[in-house]
Each structure stands twice: as C-alpha cells, then as structure tokens.
Amino acid sequence: MLIGVLALVLGACSVDHSGQDSSKETIRIAYQSFPSGDLIVKNNRWLEDALPEYNVKWTKFDSGADINTAFIAGEIDFGAIGSSPVARGLSAPLNIPYQVAFVLDVAGDNEALVARNATGIKTVADLRGKKVATAFASTAHYSLLAALNQAGLSADDVQLVDLQPQASLAAWQRGDIDAVYTWLPTLDELRKDGTQLIASRELATAGKPTLDLGVVSTAFAKDHPEIVDTWRKVQARALTTIATDPDAAAEAVAAQLGASKEDAAAQLKQGVFLTPEQISSPEWLGTEGAPGNLAVNLQSAAQFLAEQKQIDSVPDLAVFQNALYVKGLPDVLDQ
C-alpha cells in the first residue's frame, strides 16, 4: 500500500536533476512553493556552492502530508514542512524518524481562510453546511479546524474537501467550493474575489500558532552532522537576507515562484521571519541540553489533532524535545 501511495506522491512531484554528477553522493531536499528563505537558498544555489563535493537534488512537493510519505519511504533527507504535519509525523502510527533543525517562518497573514464573495459568507460561523477546501494534514487543515472550533463549529458541521492549493483554486473558479484555507501564493489569487474570514496570525494569538519548519532525517543527521550544519548556516543567511536586503530576497523568491518581484515582496511581508538568534532562543529550538518551547508547541498541536480525531494519541513531551535538532546551537548559526 505504501509503495502505491509513494508512487502517486512522487509522480506528482517536480524533481530538479540539473547539473547532477553521478560520481557524487546526493543530498535530497523536499521543498514547497511558499515564500520563504528556503526558496532563496535554492534560487541562489548557496548549498551547492557550499558543498561542491555533493549533488543537491531539489524535489517540489504540494504539501506536508506528501513530504511525510516521502520521509517514511526514505526518499528525502531534508524537508520544508508545516508544524502540524510534523506533529502528526512524530505521533503514532507514523512515528517518522526526523528532527526539526530550523524554523523557516511563523505563519502570519500568509495562510488564511477565504470565502468566495458570491456565497455571501462573512464569518467563520457562516460556513455551516458549506463546502470548505484545504489540503488535508497540512498546517492549513490544522488552522481550519482551529478556526471552526473557535466559532463553535466542528468538522462535521461543514463539507470538508481535500484539495491541494492549485486544485482548490481551480475548484474555486468553477464555483465548486465555498471557501478555502490555504497559503501563498494561491491565497493571493483567492483574495481577488474572496473575503478573508480569519488568518493564521489571529489563530496564533488565540493559542494555535503554526510554523513552517526545516526537518532532517535522524539517520542523515547522525551520519552527516557537518552537512546539517552547512544547511542551517545557509538557511540563517536567507533569514538575514530577508531582514537586511528585502530587494534581493524578493528577487530570488520571485524567480522561484514565477511571480513579479513586487508580488514576491508583498508575499514575504505577510510571513513572520525570525532572526537566527531567535531560532536558538528558549522560545523556539533552544540549545544543546535545553530544548526550546517549540517542543511544547508541537505537543499542543498533537493534542489538538487528537481531540479532532486526526491522530490516535498524544506522545510524551520528551518525544518532541528529542525531535529538536539543537546540536551546536547557537554557535552554528553565527555567520
């Protein structure tokens, strides 16, 4: 069954084999097309330049659920994935052996719930009985459930439809669905003729934050800690670029999204990007011997998923603390 699922997942992915040298070992990276430092690293080939003795293979995935499947099958080493799929991945029955090595961004206005203007829906409570699309097992799915819960609704009170971002846009344009919880850049297309009901920034304030995380296979990190260090350094460089040279950051993201530089700049402004110093703070990853509060955040997400019957049970906090890759922090992020 897993082989069949994996075939479907990888069949829907876009793999960049450009410049591959068959004599070199390959680092396999799963990425998603949302505005982030990860796209800056990819576009500028910083990892390739820092590790010339390796091939770097970038594979595009549509959502965290697909990335989890690829990790289970041992097809990738690093991945850009939301906190809710990570909480799910670290819980039974998946129990994926990976660790969080970086915080790419904290969801702000870059993920949101939007209703088609033609439906007349103005509030989350108005969604009762309506068709609402989201990518199942994603941070958007988690946030949608949290938004419904906040409005006194459950998943059973709406007609949930499992659609990836581009598919949800097509269904929206056909009028097949009434609302969508998704992320950029698709989100901006929906906003053109839709009403935003709630954004992940508001849910974070209400105690249900979501994040985009950089994870690494536990086995890969054990065998190649020096590569993980290099990967974290270039990711930290990307965060610094977003903060200090937004023009260069927008140019790189625009190239990866096939968008205008102006659109990319506007999309980057909707996310919350930490500084490298913040990432190794107690609030987030923490340091060696002192895992950060991100572990509590992930366990809280798992607790909510269990309450929503998305997973069977909630792992102990130690599971999430052990899943934070804090080796060498904070010094390894110094640039």
- pLDDT confidence bin for 334, thresholds 50/70/90: confident
Q: Which of 220-224, 227-231, 274-278, 331-335 has the lowest mean pLDDT?
A: 331-335
Asked if pLDDT for residue 20 goes beyond 90, the answer is no
Asked if pLDDT for residue 134 goes beyond 70, the answer is yes
Asked if pLDDT for residue 7 goes beyond 70, the answer is no
Asked if pLDDT for residue 335 goes beyond 90, the answer is no
Looking at the DSSP bridge assignments, the partners of residue 211 are: 106
* pLDDT number for residue 3: 39
Looking at the DSSP bridge assignments, the partners of residue 16 are: 58
* pLDDT number for residue 13: 54
Buried b vs exposed e over 9-30: b needs ≥16 C-beta within 10 Å?
bbeebeeeeeeeeeeeeebbbb
* pLDDT number for residue 299: 96
Kindly state the tokens that stand for 209: 């934050």
* pLDDT number for residue 15: 46
Asked if pLDDT for residue 4 goes beyond 70, the answer is no
- pLDDT confidence bin for 8, thresholds 50/70/90: very low
* pLDDT number for residue 207: 85
Give the integer Cα–Cα distance in Å for 60 and 299: 27
- pLDDT confidence bin for 52, thresholds 50/70/90: very high
Asked if pLDDT for residue 9 goes beyond 50, the answer is no
pLDDT tens profile 145-200: 999 999 999 999 999 999 999 999 999 999 999 999 999 999 999 999 999 999 99
Asked if pLDDT for residue 111 goes beyond 90, the answer is yes
| Unique residue bearing structure tokens 């800690």 | 225
Kindly state the tokens that stand for 256: 């990866």
Asked if pLDDT for residue 6 goes beyond 60, the answer is no
* pLDDT number for residue 11: 46
Domains in the chain (CATH in brackets) are 26-106+210-323 (3.40.190.10), 111-206 (3.40.190.10)
- pLDDT confidence bin for 22, thresholds 50/70/90: confident
8 A C-beta contact, residue 114 and residue 179: yes
- pLDDT confidence bin for 252, thresholds 50/70/90: very high
Phi, psi of 73, rounded to the nearest 5 degrees = -85, 0
- pLDDT confidence bin for 19, thresholds 50/70/90: low
* pLDDT number for residue 10: 47
Give the integer Cα–Cα distance in Å for 74 and 311: 22
Give the integer Cα–Cα distance in Å for 30 and 217: 12
Edge-first strand order for the sheet with 54-60 is 14-16, 54-60, 25-31, 78-82, 211-217, 98-106
Looking at the DSSP bridge assignments, the partners of residue 154 are: none
Asked if pLDDT for residue 66 goes beyond 70, the answer is yes
8 A C-beta contact, residue 232 and residue 333: yes
Run of H or E residues at 30: strand 25-31
Nearest CA to 80 among 95, 58, 97, 113? 58
Phi, psi of 57, rounded to the nearest 5 degrees = -110, 115
Q: What is the mean pLDDT of the chain?
A: 93
- pLDDT confidence bin for 5, thresholds 50/70/90: very low
Give the integer Cα–Cα distance in Å for 82 and 272: 14
